[in-house]
Amino acid sequence: RGPEAGFYRHTVPWIGLVASAIAGGVAWYSWRHGPDRVLAATGAQEVIAPVGPDETRLMNVTEEMAIAAGLPRPRVWIIPDEDPNALATGRDPGSSSIAVTRGLLRMLDRDELQGVVAHEMAHIQNLDVRLMTLLAAMVGALALMSDVAGRYLRHGGGRGRNRKGSPLALVVLILWLLSLLVAPLVSRMLAMAVSRRREFLADATAAQFTRNPMALSRALEKLGAALPATRSITRGAAHLCIVDPSERKLAERPGRLGDLFASHPPLAMRVTRLRGMAYQALKGE
């Protein structure tokens, strides 16, 4: 016997509540442990006691740039990869880390290394590392939202014959399709757009720290000329690096396509801006 006309029965949305709790837990875990997971994924090893002249130079340069930025010295890591690259991660200046590849240490001279470390210190000072960690957590939450909607459609979208025709189920279906197809793309584009904007600011801030914009300019030219990709750094951490860890074909292509999907602005544009800073500095003397 079916329910009487006008009968209303309230059901507790257990699936939604549990899924929301899981999403909150995943977001918290990403915020709390995301930086450590990024470093672990690269195979980075922390420099506690420097071994050899390269590691000693790296520690000295990091100490200098921390003083220039007025921040505590971050933890220093070396990534066992021959492609030159560097990244910064952490939630705040007190929990930040800077990682450079072994290839970068071998390729750059002291002034160029100082420019790269200053660039990463600028990301820490500007709290870019916090912003990128939050964006990573947001991407994870969007993925969970898609899963929650899919579970509702399978188990909670109405009862009996009217399940498929339920207006609420139709709305959830549309939201699920959007979250499944559109949300990951939009979130990635947002992360890339934020990353590109912050790269220019970090370059300018690094020039202020070192008072030598040409050193960073030369370093970026050397990094751009390195053809192999940085295999140790995944695509998901590309926005944390000083240059795109992939083969950089898309990043170096100006235009709408590069603006939408490249994790970094074209190196040629960054180098031109740094050279302009150096020219203005010489002109002002």
Active site residues: 120
Contacts of residue 113, defined as CB under 8 A and 6 or more positions apart, other chains included, come to: 57, 58, 61, 100, 104, 105, 219
**267 near 250, Cβ under 8 Å?**
no
**131 near 173, Cβ under 8 Å?**
no
**243 near 223, Cβ under 8 Å?**
yes
Please state, in angstroms and rounded to a whole number, the distance separating the CA atoms of residues 240 and 233: 10
Contacts of residue 234, defined as CB under 8 A and 6 or more positions apart, other chains included, come to: 41, 245
**223 near 242, Cβ under 8 Å?**
yes
* Strands 97-101 and 75-79, sheet pairing: parallel
Contacts of residue 227, defined as CB under 8 A and 6 or more positions apart, other chains included, come to: 247
Identify the bridge partners of residue 87 per DSSP, sorted by sequence position. Answer: 99, 241
- Angle CA 30–259–182, to nearest 5: 55
**87 near 105, Cβ under 8 Å?**
no
- Angle CA 218–224–225, to nearest 5: 90
Question: What are the tokens at 285?
Answer: 């003397």
